[in-house]
Amino acid sequence: MRYLSAFSALLALSSTAGAAVSRSEGRPQTKSYDGYKVFRVEVGTDASKVSGIVEKLGLSTWKGAPRAGTFSDIVVPPQSLAAFTKATVGMNSAVMHDDLGASIAEESAFQTYEVGAAAVNATWFNSYHSYADHLQFLNDLVAAYPTQARIVTAGNSLNGRAITGIQFWGSSGRGVKPAVVFHGTVHAREWVGTMTTEYMAYNLLTNYASNAEIKGFVDKYDFYIFPVVNPDGFVYTQTNDRLWRKNRQSTSGSTCIGHDINRNWPYMWSVSGGASTNPCAEDFKGPSQSSAPETTALAAQLRSVKASQGLKLFIDYHSYSQLFMTPYGYSCSATAPKNTELQSLARGAVAAIRAVHGTSFRYGPICSTIYQATGSSVDYTNDVVGADYVFTSELRDTGNYGFVLPANQILPTADEAYAGVRYLLLNMK
């Protein structure tokens, strides 16, 4: 398969370009997870037993409330370990992180990024990075391809950070072709989504001149890639709490912080069951639709692109669960107008992903594949913006590491994600 050659070249480059980076100290965290464990517990047919344990001990879960017939990934602090162990006697469970703090420290041993266009190489994907370095990497990528790329923004976050992305184009010039838009890291702790979307830009730009297929993609579409659409939350994961999910917005009458940007889009926001009305919940929908400034800004950018160029493809990247999903999230009974074609494309993308490293993804509509989600970017972009093709993907893994995915899985994750995108670009009408 031809797209594997790009990955092979990146691995070769990684071995020769090491001088561009050096190890640096991990970033400090205000909230310590030292001694915390993460357990994967089989829920069984009755979710109330696991839910009762979570509620009684005041524990947090990584993939929402426990649901029958699934596994629940539960974070347990040291002081609750004895009670949790006693409560789960007889249940099937496995340890995901024996010491979550140690896993975070290892993951957060960032490489120092050497500024400049010459530093744009595959070593970037050997580790995670600080937010400032992500911005620098995008600027350096533009500097390396100044006639073909530029920095773009989609408004500002609550705390005034620009929602920064990169736009690039092919031989026909900028802004004259249908657009492809990728979002990453709307949920702040999902760091591999940042790296994966950056890989899309890196791969397409650096191989444009030498790979006829990639040149064809970039000549056919303008690409807009926003690796971190929740910059305030992302920065907070690197300075205060690695497992923070939401933005950093307050709510009147509550001391809890954060709105879930991906439950706040102004479409099917008020449908019940797909988000929480509790400001302390991780999927808090906000007091009103579009209450999060990030949601408003991102929605406006998508509408603008659609109006000026047309929007061929939109993908919102998340982690974790290894899923490739289609509209709708707000309902498990509603069917998207292009559902038959969307399922066919998703099935092909999943097969292409698996062909790279053997990683298995499931596909289908969001609601029936993972859970109900209202006020989401996917449903909005499909029905309000009117993009031709809309997907969301949950990247690696399925529960060995969860949100704290080791850095050595960044490049394989990104490489197989590109294979899925490649399939779509080859097969969309």
User: Catalytic residue numbers?
Assistant: 394
Provide CB contacts within 8 A for 160, sequence distance 6+: none
Provide CB contacts within 8 A for 15, sequence distance 6+: none
> 């099935």: which residue's tokens?
347
Distance CA 197, CA 200 (A): 5
Amino acid symbol at 108:
S
The DSSP letter of residue 110 is P
Please, what is the angle between helix 410-427 and helix 191-206, to 10°? Answer: 60
For residue 358, the cross-strand partners are: none
SS3 label, residue 10: helix
Q: Is the dihedral of CA 404, 410, 412, 418 positive or negative?
A: positive
Distance CA 204, CA 43 (A): 42
β-pairing, 162-168 vs 149-156, is antiparallel
Whether omega before 363 lies within 30 degrees of 0, making that bond cis, reads: no
Contact 316, 230 (CB under 8 A): no
Whether omega before 260 lies within 30 degrees of 0, making that bond cis, reads: no
